[in-house]
Structure 1
Amino acid sequence: MVMGTAWLVVQRHLPEILDPSVYGQLRMPTSNVGNFFIGVWPRWDAVHHLNLAMGGYFASSPGESVFYPLYAGLTWLLALVLGGRYIEAGLLLSTITAAAVFVFLILIGDHLFGDESGKWAAISLAAYPTAVFLIAPFTEALFLALTLSAIYLAYLGRWWPAAVSAFLASLARGPGLTLSLPLAILAIRQWDSTHRPIRFQAVSVLVAVAAPLVGGVSFLAWRSIAGFPSMSETLRQYTGTTFVDPLTGIVTALRQWITILDLPTTLDTLSALLFLAVTVVMAFNPRWRKIELLAYMLVNIGFLLSRRTENATSLKSISRYVLVLFPAFLVAGDYLKQARSATRFLYLVISSSLLIVLSALYALWFFLG
């Protein structure tokens, strides 16, 4: 409602945004009602994902080959059912997988920290200022749902289905490759606690640990066979992004922030600092020091901070990417469970207010991630 209202009020003052070329091959709504409910969602990378679903990699720019295939493939399948409505298909896919995210977040939170922790973890994520990307046609919800399901199933010792989820997660986003590390740590912890379960599941455990690597490497191999430039070369050519060590990346990003000081750069910088702080708290708080979750945070944050971009800020889009750092929301949920009602209320008011404002800005093509 907020996004649709913002768009209908402001669109007449943004004629350049109405240029159909920004939407690629998408069939955009022409009525006010259509724009109110549907037309406000295809923005930035969502346009790329939906066009990729429509035409595939060979009908798109080589720059779009950096996007992993699962989201576009599932959107294409849903669009077949919906009569070629790709925007609606993307929204349906994101909505379904976002619901799964909240379910698995509740299950994992309660499993690790007791009743109510999971509920508050889900609430903290749902109210997070950039949570609009979980519903929009982006890959975050799909990737997070598969990652959470793999982790939860591994906690339960159900390694075969965990392997399937982990494999699919690595086909949804590049960082899915890193899922092998927390799964390996979980396997070792289960071995240490009781030898019998792991000994009789050795094959399934090995498959689950290897699955993210197999999935991610398979896509990279296909890109190479199909004739696309390497991932690093494509990122350099189309986004100006190269990879450096995390320390160099964060120093570069802070210098860019001080120089630019606009809202997107500020959001990205504060997001990086916030989740770095949560990671430090996890490392020093025994209750939250779950090695598999800490490893997940460290490897993903390290990857996010290892980018250096010349024609944009190095932390570009990190305010969206942090949505997949689910251990931070588990920590927030456990904290909120024990917090006073006033603290919970304050978090919800501040975070939800920012979510409303940023959602409206998203609808107006303001870059948030």
Structure 2
Amino acid sequence: MLNSLWQQPAVRHALILFVLLRLFLSGWAMAAQLASPVPLEADEVVRPYLNQPILNDGAAGLLLGPWQRFDALHYTRIAAEGYSHPEDSVFPPLYPVLMRGLGGLFGGSHAAHLAAGIIISNIALLGLLILLHKVGSDLLGEKHASRLLVYFALFPTSFFLFAPYTESLFLLFTLASLWLAFRHDQFEWAGVLGLLAALTRLTGWVLVVPLAYHYWERYLGNGKWKIDPIGGWSPRLIRKAAAVFLPGLGLLLFLLYRTWLGLPPLGNIYAEYWFQRTGFPGTDLLRATQGMFGLGTGRVGELTLWFDFFITWLLLITTIWALFRWRQRLGWGLYAAMLLLFMLLPSSEFKPLYSFSRYALAFFPTFFLLALWGENGKIHRLILYPSLLLYLYFSAQFFIWGWVA
């Protein structure tokens, strides 16, 4: 059985890439911290451990300590204490619940929860890479699928896929949901996975739009603007239609749970603790432009700001391409468009375009397009070499408590 799995290009390529990067990042993290040792004490501004133990000794310090950063500490705190801190309540519960469950098998300590998060993320990442190769082979052809995998795995912020963040789990649920609907018409399972995606990250609800579009295209009037299926409604079609809205139900359940706990509305939490308010889409692009040239009051002149600005335009261009040039697979473009709109709604004077380079990992159509473009040798090098250099720099910054995304 193992030999038959190894013969599958998706499994073989994904596993090789996963193992190489996993081993490399472990060594790179040690090297980064040797070159620039992390102070042993917490700092609530630049090293906010959120009153949790600092892992800097022994095996835990070597293997877990470099990943004990930023959002990972919010997830471990939720795993241990639930939503006892209001600022944590912007994170949906599924990932920390899984951390708590798996971490409980190892004693339920902070280190156990962190290790559980890393295990969950890494298993999800391996599954994601295998699935992405399969999707790429079907949509683009096998010769492009391996390039797609390399571009995705070596994107400058892809090291977050190994971290105890929601990235890998959310992307696995999302890609599987879209693929089951678009390729196999399995709307029930697509809806369930979309619900899990929405319980993993707030943006999971946007899956309702591409799933609904594909359902309409597949079953309602042969793609014409009708709401009645040819031959009438059947229990099977009604069941599939209901499944389309499960990602939205995931968001609704999370909001109701927060209300039941007596927590303030999400908008209030984002404004008070995360310095973000809902604004006109694209406002942060203007603020980022000012900050890039030393103006404004927030992020000023940072490399990460320049990169986030570049990535935002890359996402805009590739999303427009997916909507208007890839009409035969419009569902992918609708997914990217809804995701981008949701990301552009928050506005912040202090941190415009915050974390856009990490959120870009969810834009599968962008990576599809890059894989197609990369068939040209010059473009391939133009994509791969800067990406690899930034991957090394950003991951090292993350390991020494430098903000990346």
- The alignment's TM-score, normalised by the length of structure 1, stands at 0.90
The offset of 1:22, in angstroms, is 2.9
What residue is the counterpart of 2:147 in the other structure?
A: 120
Counterpart in the other structure of 1:334: 372
SS of the residue corresponding to residue 64 of structure 2 reads helix
Q: Distance in 1 between matches of 2:265 and 2:36?
A: 41
1:360 aligns with 2:396: yes
Number of equivalenced pairs: 362
Cα pair distance change 1:21/1:261, threshold 3 Å: closer
Q: Distance in 1 between matches of 2:384 and 2:106?
A: 36
On the 8 A contact 1:5/1:36 being kept in 2, the answer is: no
2:22 counterpart residue number: none
Identify the match of residue 244 of structure 2 among 209, 213, 219: 209
Give the equivalent residue in structure 2 for 1:266.
306
Please list the CA deviations of residues 161-183 of structure 1 after superposition, one character each: whole Å capped at 9, or x if unmatched. 11210110110111111110010
Deviations 1:43-102 (A, max 9, x none): 1111111111122113xx101111110110111111122333111111001101111221
2:55 match: secondary structure: coil
Corresponding residue for residue 163 of structure 1: 191
- Structure with the bigger RCO (C-alpha within 8 Å, sep 6+) is 1
Deviation track 1:84-133 (CA, whole Å, cap 9, x = no partner) reads 31111110011011112212212222222232333322221101000011
Q: Does 2:139 match 1:100? A: no
Which amino acid in 1 is paired with 2:401? W
Rounded Cα–Cα distance in structure 2 between residues aligned with 1:146 and 1:197:
32
Find the residue that maps to 2:351 and give its secondary structure: coil
Distance 1:54 1:307 in 2: 29
Give SS of 1:229's match. Answer: coil
Deviation at 1:298, TM superposition (A): 1.2
Alignment partner, residue 87 of structure 2:
63
1:294 matched to 2:344? The reply is: no
Q: CA 1:189 to 1:103, structure 2 compared with 1: closer, same or farther past 3 Å?
A: farther
Residues 104 and 152, structure 1, Cα contact 8 Å, conserved in 2 = no
Give the whole-Å Cα distance in 1 for the aligned partners of 2:233 and 2:209. Answer: 17
Name the CA distance, whole Å, in 2 between partners of 1:174 and 1:40. Answer: 26
Alpha carbons of structure 1 residues 294 and 80: separation in structure 2 relative to 1, 3 Å: same
The correspondence for 1:285, drawn from 316, 325, 337, is 325
Shift in alpha-carbon separation, 1:348–1:21, aligned structure 2, 3 A: closer
Which of 298, 302, 308 is residue 347 of structure 2 equivalent to?
A: 308
Task: Give the TM-score normalised by structure 2.
Answer: 0.83
Q: Paired residue for 1:229?
A: 264
Segments of 5+ residues of structure 2 without an aligned counterpart are 1-26, 224-228
In structure 1, the residue corresponding to 2:288 is in which secondary structure?
helix
Matched, 1:39 2:65: yes
1:53 aligns with 2:79: yes
Query: CA separation in 2, counterparts of 1:63 and 1:121?
Result: 36
Aligned CA-pair RMSD: 2.5
Deviations 1:274-330 (A, max 9, x none): 2112223334434x76311111111111111111113x2221111111111122112
The amino acid of 1:280's aligned partner reads I
* One-letter identity of the residue aligned with 1:186: H
- Offset of residue 137 of structure 1: 0.9
Distance 1:314 1:29 in 2: 31
In 2, the alpha carbon distance for the partners of 1:278 and 1:324 equals 13
Q: Pick the structure with more helix per residue.
A: 1
Q: CA deviation at 1:18?
A: 7.6
Q: Given that residues 109 and 334 in structure 1 are in contact (C-alpha distance below 8 angstroms), is that contact kept between their aligned partners in structure 2?
A: no
- Find the residue that maps to 1:367 and give its secondary structure: coil
- Give the SS at the match of 1:290: helix
Task: Quickly say closer, same or farther: Cα 1:21–1:351, change in 2 above 3 A.
Answer: closer
1:318 equivalent among 356, 363, 374: 356
Return the alpha-carbon distance in structure 1 between the equivalents of residues 231 and 377 of structure 2.
Answer: 44
Shift of 1:345: 4.8
8 Å contact from structure 2 (residues 323, 334) kept in 1: no
Q: Structure 1 32/81 Cα, relative in aligned 2: closer, same or farther at 3 Å?
A: closer
CA contact under 8 A between 2:94 and 2:199: conserved in structure 1?
Answer: yes
Distance in 1 between the 2:231 and 2:139 partners? 22
1:129 aligned counterpart, secondary structure: coil
Match of 1:129 among 156, 159, 163: 156
1:267 Cα deviation after fit:
2.2
In structure 2, the residue corresponding to 1:23 is in which secondary structure?
coil
What are the ranges of 5 or more consecutive residues in structure 1 without an aligned counterpart? none
Task: Give the Å deviation of 1:32.
Answer: 5.4
Asked if structure 2 preserves the Cα contact closer than 8 Å seen for 1:8 and 1:36, the reply is no
